[in-house]
Structure 1
Amino acid sequence: MAKIRITQVKSGIDRPERQKLTLKALGLNKMHATKEVEATPQILGMVRKVEHLVTVVEVK
């Protein structure tokens, strides 16, 4: 399965609670925090919900 690198580029402050919890579930708790995860349908769905707060890069 492909891996993706997710980096938080905008703050979760003043966002709906669901978006804050999604960031936390992805393992992003600070600005510019980066996580490398498997690109499962569940992860991709979570990324889609907070795509305005993160950047995603496919890792080879």
Structure 2
Amino acid sequence: MANDSAKQINVTLVRSTAGRLEKHRACVRGLGLRRMHQTVTVAATPENLGMINRVSYMLSVEEA
């Protein structure tokens, strides 16, 4: 289980949240993204992976 918590993912917002569904905006904010081209590192938890999956069309994702 300690191995799973060590996995990190770099997530970058590459498309704007303007005009998107409120749930999708909430997922982007939940991942810690505020601005275009901002990159954050998040843990690869099921919760974060679900948010990433929902708004994947707005994100660039790579392993850290």
- Alpha-carbon deviation of 1:37? 1.0
Could you tell me which runs of 5 or more consecutive residues in structure 2 were left unpaired when the two chains were aligned. 1-5
| C-alpha distance in structure 2 between counterparts of 1:39 and 1:29, whole Å | 20
Q: Is structure 2 residue 62 aligned with structure 1 residue 52?
A: no
Larger Rg: 2
Q: Percent identity?
A: 37
Between the two proteins, the alignment pairs up a number of residues equal to: 59
After TM superposition, the runs of 4+ consecutive aligned structure 1 residues lying more than 3 A away are none
- Alpha-carbon deviation of 1:49? 0.5
Could you tell me which runs of 5 or more consecutive residues in structure 1 were left unpaired when the two chains were aligned. none
| C-alpha distance in structure 2 between counterparts of 1:38 and 1:8, whole Å | 16
SS of the residue 1:52 aligns to: helix
| C-alpha distance in structure 2 between counterparts of 1:17 and 1:37, whole Å | 21
